[in-house]
Amino acid sequence: MELVLTILGLALLVVGAFLELVGTVGILRLRGFFNRLHAATVSAIGGSVVPLLGLSLLSVALEDLGARRFHLLGICLVAALLILILAPAGAHALARAAYRSGEVAKDFTYDAISEDGVGWD
């Protein structure tokens, strides 16, 4: 059981590192504020939540930690949950503020907010 948890935890760490790299490339290569914000959010969630879940699995697998492994498990899960809740909310707030300010170029293919006539006012 320990071997399975260790392999799964290490795999999640590698996946998280890959998502962080993808988000970084997205920030550098994509044009426009909203596309870059999306890449940053993917990087924040995938690059931090997934490795935290992997670290929680690794902490359960390491019996050398004793009772501290459950403390580490709890810390990792709470941090992952907070990031999972707060990162999309922060990205939404940034996108809404940028859209409403009119300072960011809106080169959308489809803009449902302006088409409805209601907007975010």
Helix ranges (DSSP H) in the chain: 2-29, 33-46, 49-61, 68-101, 112-116
Note the pLDDT of residue 102: 79
What pTM did the predictor assign?
0.81
Q: Is 104 helix (H, G, I), strand (E, B) or coil?
A: coil
Residues of the domain holding 56: 2-102
What one-character DSSP code corresponds to residue 111?
-
Domain membership of residue 86 (yes or no) is yes
Domain membership of residue 113 (yes or no) is no
Please, are residues 27 and 43 in contact by the beta-carbon 8 Å criterion?
Answer: yes
| Least confident residue range of 23-37, 77-91, 100-114 | 100-114
106 has a pLDDT exceeding 80: no
Q: Place 66 in a pLDDT band, splitting at 50, 70 and 90.
A: confident
11 has a pLDDT exceeding 80: yes
Count: domains in the chain: 1
Which amino acid would we find at residue 2? E
Note the pLDDT of residue 1: 84
